[in-house]
Amino acid sequence: MYDKGYKVIAISDVAGGIYNKNGLDLWKLEKFVAENKTVVGFPESEPVSNEQLLERTRIARELHDSVSQALFGIALGARTARTLLDRDPARAAQPLEYAMSLAEAALAEMRTLIFELRPESLASEGLIVALEKLAAAARSRHHIEVNMTLMDEPPISLDAKEALYRIAQEALQNVVRHAQATEVTLSVAQKDADELVLDIRDNGIGFDPSESFPGRLGLNSMRERVLRLGGVFTLESTPDQGTHIRASIPLLPTEAAEKPS
């Protein structure tokens, strides 16, 4: 099957299956989504926000860049091992070990992506632990040094924790994709008695905020999250001088009263 530009987009096999170029059975996928829309979170009547669209696009990119490549390698290793079992069984162990190592890496990557997509541990472990995991993933996956200064778990609502987590997540994604930075500093601190601040800086190439630049949609999403919480979002960036993001949200009176000693 071809698109309008005559590029291969799907292949039909003799059994009647329709597969895309990555080997995914499109009929089975369509049937699964139709039967499980409400389970996987895509109800037909629910509009898709910019934030949801950004998140889905990011996850799709991560899946393509990491997990799908690992699955391709696993399939290649398994086929090689199967061929060697007939021709030279003693050599079959090497491609099997290769496939196993890729499977373990893909599993770890999927766990990270699932956590990023729906960080359930925000409720049980809190914002600070979630940010530490996010920084650890950036270090291991993208080799960026992330220096953190974190307070004890802040006394804020779960919605506020998720908003700050998503802002940090999007900021780190922008660093990886656009900033060409080698170092990031991230801090969470309570200022005065009624303000919580998330502060993120990088040593990347920076940009002129008054002009068009990559990542603008993500920055708008950050700003919208902060404004919904009644907070203030500031962005400072200069070409060749890095970027500084500051998200400040108010603490409710009951939250401020619970400030850690």
pLDDT in tens, 150-200: 999 999 999 899 899 989 988 998 898 888 999 999 999 999 888 999 999
Kindly tell me the burial class for residue 153, based on how many C-beta atoms sit within 10 Å of its own C-beta (0-12, 13-18, 19 or more): middle
Where residue 67 falls among pLDDT bands split at 50, 70, 90? confident
Could you count the other beta carbons within 10 Å of the beta carbon of residue 75? 13
* pTM score over 0.75: no
Residue 180, sorted as left (phi over 0), alpha (psi -120 to 50) or beta, turns out to be: left
Q: Set out the domains of the chain in order of their start, with CATH numbers.
A: 1-46 (no CATH), 50-118 (1.20.5), 126-256 (3.30.565.10)
Residue from 236, 250, 123, 133 nearest 196 by CA: 250
**Residue pair 161/122 in contact by the 8 Å Cβ criterion:** yes
- Separation of alpha carbons 134 and 198, rounded Å: 14
pLDDT in tens, 2-43: 344 433 333 333 333 333 434 444 444 445 445 544 444 444
Task: List alpha helices for the chain, DSSP H.
Answer: 26-40, 50-62, 68-87, 93-117, 121-124, 127-142, 158-174, 216-228, 253-256
CA distances from 155 to 42, 166, 247 (A): 32, 18, 16
Q: Which residues pair with 199 in a beta bridge?
A: 187, 246
Name the DSSP letter for residue 247. Answer: E
* Residue 4, both tokens: 């309008």
* Residue 121, both tokens: 């541990």
Where residue 92 falls among pLDDT bands split at 50, 70, 90? confident
- Read off the amino acid at residue 31: K
* Residue 84, both tokens: 């060697």
Residue from 252, 235, 251, 255 nearest 243 by CA: 235
Residue from 82, 78, 80 nearest 102 by CA: 78
